[in-house]
Amino acid sequence: MGAAVFLAFGLAMDATAVAAARGLARRGREIVILPLLFGLFQGGMAALGWGLGAWGGKYVEAYDHWIAFVLLVAIGGKMLWEAWRGEEAKEGEAGLGIYLILALATSIDAAAAGITLPLMSVSPLIAIVLIGTITAACSALGYVAGRALGAHLGNKLEILGGLVLIGLGVRVLVEHL
């Protein structure tokens, strides 16, 4: 069970950082939407990886870092562009498409990790629930922390949020190359 919990926390870190970056811009409903989607996608992608098994693992691992890199850099770049143009983040401004892209970008590695679930000492289903639940909880905490920091330091922290997303994308790419 311990290995499944550690795996869940490890997989949750990118989602937590993205949620914190979004919190810096102080968007409203994202405190509910992001953790829910991040948790569902992490658990779902782990289940997908488990289902694909050894056949799909090599295909997921071959491209997961490129997909995550492109998506995170694109969203981070969009945040930088909006901050540079002086566009203020409005309550509920981001659409479902952005949320789904962020959830996908932060959960791709969970598909590759899902392949290892049968090797754990707990049921793969329990591990999947742990992955989704821990990701949702960590994302909510990250968002709250980012929002508190954003409220303290001002609206221009969207630049920092965009840079964090771009940095995460670059880190994912560099680690896998």
With contact defined as beta carbons under 8 Å apart, do 18 and 165 qualify?
A: yes
Contact call for residues 43 and 131 (beta carbons, < 8 A):
yes
pLDDT tens digits, the chain, 177 residues: what are they?
A: 888 898 898 888 888 988 988 888 766 788 899 999 999 999 999 999 888 875 666 666 677 778 778 877 887 787 777 777 765 555 445 678 888 999 998 888 888 788 778 777 889 999 999 999 999 999 999 999 988 887 776 656 667 777 877 887 788 788 877
Report whether 15 contacts 135 (CB < 8 A): yes
Q: Quote the tokens at residue 75.
A: 């969203």
pLDDT in tens, 31-58: 899 999 999 999 999 999 888 875 666 6
Domain count of the chain?
Answer: 1
Spatial contact of 171 and 165, defined as CB atoms under 8 Å apart? no
* The model's pTM: 0.77
Residue whose tokens read 């995460």:
168
Structural domain including 146 reads 2-176
pLDDT at 72: 75
d(CA 70, CA 50): 25
User: CA angle, 83 as apex, 80 and 89 as ends, to 5°?
Assistant: 115
